[in-house]
Amino acid sequence: MRRHLGLTQKQLALLAGVSQSLIAKIESGKIDPAYSKVMQIISALEAEQNKGKKTVAQIMSPHIASVAPSDNLQKAISIMRGKDISQLPVFSDGHCVGSLSDGMIVDLVASRGGELKSILVGEVMAESYPVVPASSLVDVAVSLLHHYRAVLVEKDGKAAGIITRADIFKAI
* pLDDT for the residue 109: 82
pLDDT band for position 172 (cuts 50, 70, 90): low
Question: Does residue 117 carry a pLDDT above 80?
Answer: no
pLDDT in tens, 127-145: 999 999 998 999 999 999 9
pLDDT in tens, 44-80: 998 888 787 889 999 999 999 999 999 999 999 999 9
* pLDDT for the residue 114: 66
* pLDDT for the residue 15: 93
Following DSSP, what letter does each residue of the chain receive, concatenated? -TTTTT--HHHHHHHHTS-HHHHHHHHHT-----HHHHHHHHHHHHHHHTTTPPBHHHHSBS----B-TTSBHHHHHHHHHHHT-SEEEEEETTEEEEEEEHHHHHHHHHHH-S--TT-BHHHH-BPPPPEEETTSBHHHHHHHTTT-S-EEEEETTEEEEEE-HHHHHHH-
* pLDDT for the residue 78: 94
